Amino acid sequence: MCSFLLVDSSSRLIHVFFFDQEAEVSMQRFWKTVDIHPSEDGNFHIRLDQRKLVTPSGNQLVIPRSKIALAVLVAREWAEQRKILKQHSLPLTSLVSRSIDGMKVEDRDEIIDSLLNYLDTDTVCFFEEKPQRLVDLQDKHWKPLIEWISQTYSVNLKIHHDSILFAKQSPATKEALRSVVMHFDRLKLAGFERAVHVTKSFVIALALVEGKLTVDEASDASRVEVLSQIARWGEVEDTHDVDFQEIRMKLGSVTCALI
């Protein structure tokens, strides 16, 4: 995810754009001050040199008054930027923007349907019988999640053992979990969406946003196969460690947004 800014001096707004791109994109920091500006309704705007941030779709980047900690963290993202604004350096800003631009009422059904599709290939539902280290990690990280989701939401996930074939989760299971996600507000849904995409798991993401897992626990649960490989062959420097930190950063932004 990259970002760049467009300053509209006439309206005193700063547009923030995010887009997927493999190449590194950067720009020089041009602002001197960052502040949190309360609006008349008590919500918060983030301002650079007294210009309000605006989302890619042109909506003002407004943080709910109940999320003062989030407002502080978003402002801090901008205040701590150095001379060059780097790729991946605004995870909370991008998450708030996504919640404003992409989580409209008319879009929720489609978004939730796409996230429910992850249940059919959910990492935690596919167990291998060997090697033993992998079996131990699966038992440690996945079995408690399966028990938790089953007991908490009265669903029975289909679990597959040592098989590349799978059966889709039942309509009853999907409907029960749909009803849970439907009650998420826009910011929580955006965070849940990010967590699902990062972990490739509906179950791990749900456990994270519902407070069942910490960031490190969710990261480890999503990397069970990698952890097994590391235990056997060792860590590949600048690969495994970088991937781990990126996952932690993205999942950390989710938990910070939900404070």
pLDDT at 26: 65
Q: Which amino acid does the sequence have at 12?
A: R
Give 10-residue mean pLDDT values along the chain (259 residues): 47 58 64 94 95 91 96 96 81 96 94 97 93 94 98 96 83 98 98 98 99 97 87 57 80 96
Cβ atoms 29, 82 nearer than 8 A: yes
pLDDT at 1: 43
Q: Which domains does the chain have, with CATH numbers?
A: 5-87 (3.30.2180.10), 107-258 (1.10.3580.10)
pLDDT at 11: 54
pLDDT at 22: 47
Cβ atoms 35, 47 nearer than 8 A: yes
Give the containing element (helix H, strand E) for 110.
helix 108-116
pLDDT at 232: 66
